[in-house]
Structure 1
Amino acid sequence: MAFGGTLWMLILYLTIFIHLLLLVWGIYYNLARTHLPRGISRPVALILFNFLVGYGFVLAGILEKLGICHRYSIIRAICLFIPKMKDPKLIIRDLVFDGVPVRVYWPKTSPAGNRKGIIFLHGGVGLFASIRTSARICHSLAHGTDSVVMCVEFRLAPEHPYPVPVQDCLTAAIHFLKNAKEYGVDPSRIAIVGESSGGTFAAAVCQELVTREDLPRVRAQVLVYPFLQTVDFDLPSYQQNHTVPPLFRKRGVKFGLTYLTGKKINVDGILKGAHVPPVLREKYKKWISADNIPEEFKARGYVPKAPAPFSEELYEQVKRAGETMFSPLLAEDDIIRQLPETFILTCEYDVLRDDGLLYKKRLEDNGVPVTWFHVQDGFHGIMAMAGWRSIEFPSTQKCLQNVIHFFKGLYK
């Protein structure tokens, strides 16, 4: 008994010591490697939020190295502690659309058979997050737009790498469009909304659907700070915001490549552009170039850099990143010009800001109506905090309300 008690005390002390090391590392990382521009509101709150995120990822990485489970399983497990929301003004049901789990929210006040519909695709880089983590946004959209909201629980990498997650989204969207009337939705009034990587999926799904003459046409797409291209990680927003939390440039690319391949890849050469063949770089420069970014977005600093020498090995590892389901900005003009009316939200202090700006230009150049909202003090993920009063930022509700305002104007 004495030996057993001593062993448990050693384990307890070791656990405390590990957590103290993580705490010290987290404080050092936040102070030494992050940069918060003056324009960000509540910088201390963002530092604290990023510390908690980083702490979780480091702890998950330790458990992965110990062989207990992969790191993203830990993040997903933490998400399970988010309490399920109850709302007496909504009917909420978990269903399965052609093998894909979904959650559907019906406002009790909407007229049966003539409701508007929203397909919502959550963020998380195809690695984590879920229906549960996006519930508050879905509740707000259902109430604010008086729409039936369908949220997709797509499978996640690394167990199910690209293109499985986005194909799950496409499958669920097709089912909803085909069977809209069964859910009391007018099939001509359905929009697709995506936040972060969900915005990537939304853009990709809309592109896939434009050639489907057997389906109702999507009324609109709403892309909230989406990731849209893998050609240039040295655009002005990537340079200016590479150390702005929570989506650092290197962290974001690592996540994206894990979603793409299901494996860890050294991203240093990719950040320098060594993965893009010269012939493709030449093809895409008319769409993806700092020359297409308005000058006011270069004011915080931008230095043009030549890409690193091409690496055939890197290209072979990540060449599927050039597919339009992964990088929607690379779609041809004949697809772009058929896309529905679009709302794009960008944030000033987000590495992905310029992806949104470039897509906005491409859509406008091809005659697609675009409503654009730029959050001057925003950073990546700011809208995902909607409904979490304790961690909401001043512009969180502003983001959400602008999305809702777009929908109200869409169906006048």
Structure 2
Amino acid sequence: MRSSCVLLTALVALAAYYIYIPLPEAMGDPWKLMLLDATFRGAQQVSNLIHYLGLSHHLLALNFIIISFGKKSAWSSAQVKVTDTEFDGVEVRVFEGSSKPNEPLKRSIVYLHGGGWALASPKISYYDELCTAMAEELNAVVVSIEYRLVPKVYFPEQIHDVARATKHFLQPEVLQKYSVDPDRIGISGDSAGGNLAAALGQQFSQDLNLRSKFKLQALIYPVLQALDFNTPSYQQNWNTPILPRHVMVKYWVDYFKGNYNFVQAMIVNNHTSLDVEGAVALRARLNWTFLLPPSITKNYKPVVHTAGNAKIVQELPQLLDARSAPLIADQEALQHLPKTYILTCEYDVLRDDGIMYAKRLENAGVQVTLDHFEDGFHGCMIFTRWPTNFSVGIRTRNSYIKWLDDNL
């Protein structure tokens, strides 16, 4: 009996050690967030073991775990009709809200889910519920695109998928089928989906052959650059749930089919040192000492090395491609973008990507709303249902949908 008590105490202590991480006081629901983070870390470690044993790629294993716990079949209710179909060979889930008697044509959002270009799906509960809420509350048609994921495809195939599906949707006969107003369509996405939405926004704004243009874009804690992993938010939140810095860098390397041997060098910005041809000029476009307010920059210094590892950019030239990093696009690519909403969270390595993009868009003459949440963490907007319900998740979702309602 005594040995059982000792063993139980040891297991509880071990579990507490694994779960507990120090969090800032401003973050709400700390133990719930620790449990969520520990669950995700545990799933990552299981998938890494599966990879090590040669049973499957770690991202395929991790995505299998994620989808297994949360996949929802298409369903319809009195308020929202949900259909799985294909647009030009790309799988999509379409959410059709109820029409208003005085509005025969509906608004529409093309939505791109997050997950590091490698995880998640429109069919998991978090995104199914988000898109259902958008369709119901906005009386809109929401098209959530099932773009292909790493490791089955790599950059820029994800962009090609979302572009192909979106162009199909924007055809007059397709918009007519779904009773969509061609002048009231927006593009939106969160995290890596925000990256794809920003890239698609830039591409479509310059496409003279498109008859229908986006009325707005709404980017939720978007990933926008891979040249500087030492912005103030990367330094401040280097080990904050749900997205520590080293995990974000690995997502970038995976997206480009790169080598994990580059990760540590990239974390300290050796891939964009002063001796790396082409990187210096582009880094000037994300000079956070000018693009971020003094309240953010005052306690941090830029990390720029005289000499670094030029081999990284030579092997991964995608790092310098504005399609992967919309923040480094030239001014001409920004000035034709539509009205923009950017949501950022204080406890997120990607916070400064969003704030810098908002500033660059303002400088280009684009109307921008920057919606910052002081107690927010990466991914919080999809966590609104028990047991992963967070106050900040509900508030971010409400704020996002309200902005869409007011502007679309």
With normalisation by structure 1, the TM-score equals 0.89
Q: Which among 94, 112, 137 is matched to residue 104 of structure 1? A: 94
Bigger drift between 102-111 and 91-100 goes to 102-111
Structure 1 residue 199 displacement after superposition? 0.3
Equivalent residue number for residue 398 of structure 1: 395
Aligned to 1:121: 112
Asked if the contact 2:272/2:280 (under 8 Å) is kept, the reply is no
Summarize deviations over 1:290-346 as a string: whole Å, max 9, x none: 3121112236x4233333623221122222121111100111111100001000000
* Paired residue type of 1:293: L
Q: How does 1:10-409 map to 2 (within 5 A)?
A: 28=17, 30-31=19-20, 34-78=21-65, 79-84=67-72, 86-88=75-77, 89-110=79-100, 114-133=105-124, 134-178=127-171, 179-215=174-210, 216-261=212-257, 264-276=260-272, 278=274, 279-291=277-289, 292-298=291-297, 301-307=299-305, 309-386=307-384, 388-409=385-406
SS state at 1:232 partner:
coil
2 CA distance for matches of 1:340 and 1:401?
22
Residue 193 of structure 1 aligns to a residue in which SS? strand
Task: Give the distance between the partners of 2:115 and 2:71, measured in 1 at CA.
Answer: 19
Q: Verify the 8 A CA contact 1:275 1:318 in the aligned structure 2.
A: no
The whole-number CA distance in structure 2 between the counterparts of 1:406 and 1:52 is: 32
% of aligned pairs identical? 32
Q: Where does the alignment leave 5 or more consecutive residues of structure 2 unmatched?
A: 1-9
Measure how far apart 1:284 and its partner are: 2.7
| Deviation (angstroms), 1:81 | 3.4
**Could you say what secondary structure the match of 1:407 adopts?**
helix
Distance 1:242 1:23, change over 3 A: farther
Q: What is the root-mean-square deviation in Å for CA atoms of aligned residues?
A: 2.3
Does the CA-based 8 Å contact 1:272-1:308 persist in structure 2? Answer: no
Distance 1:65 1:25, change over 3 A: farther
Amino acid at match of 2:392: S
**How far apart, in 2, do the equivalents of 1:121 and 1:369 lie?**
22
Aligned equivalents of 1:304, 1:232: Cα separation in 2: 9
Contact 2:283 2:328 in 1 (8 A): no
Contact 1:123 1:129 in 2 (8 A): yes
**Judging changes above 3 Å, is the alpha-carbon distance between structure 1 residues 65 and 285 closer, same or farther for their aligned structure 2 residues?**
closer
Report if aligned partners of 2:94, 2:144 keep a CA contact under 8 Å in 1: yes
Separation of aligned partners in 1, 2:170 and 2:161: 14
Q: Secondary structure at the match of 1:344?
A: strand
CA contact (8 A) 2:159 2:196 kept: yes
Residue 5 of structure 1 is matched in structure 2 by none
> Which consecutive segments of 4 or more residues in structure 1 shift more than 6 A?
21-26
What CA distance in whole angstroms lies between the structure 1 residues aligned with 2:97 and 2:140? 7
The separation in 2 between residues aligned to 1:262 and 1:310, in whole angstroms, is: 18
Whether the 8 Å contact between 1:104 and 1:149 is mirrored in structure 2 is: yes
Paired residue for 1:8? Answer: none
3-state DSSP of counterpart to 1:80? helix
Secondary structure in 2 matching 1:105: strand
Deviation at 1:109, TM superposition (A): 3.5
Query: Is the partner of 2:340 in helix, strand or coil?
Result: strand
Q: Which deviations, in whole Å up to 9, do the C-alpha atoms of 1:244-284 show, x marking residues without a partner? A: 11100011111121122165443111112221263534323
Q: Evaluate the alpha carbon distance shift between residue 159 and residue 109 of structure 1 in structure 2; reply closer, same or farther with a 3 A threshold.
A: same
Paired with 1:52 and 1:130, the residues of 2 have a C-alpha distance of 19
More off after superposition, 101-110 vs 195-204: 101-110
Mean CA deviation greater in 130-139 or 81-90: 81-90
Which letter does structure 1 place at the counterpart of 2:357?
Y
**How much does 1:74 deviate?**
2.1
SS where residue 267 of structure 1 aligns? Answer: helix
Contact 1:115 1:184 in 2 (8 A): yes
Distance 1:129 1:207 in 2: 24
Q: Which runs of 5+ in 1 are unaligned?
A: 1-20
Q: Secondary structure at the match of 2:399?
A: helix
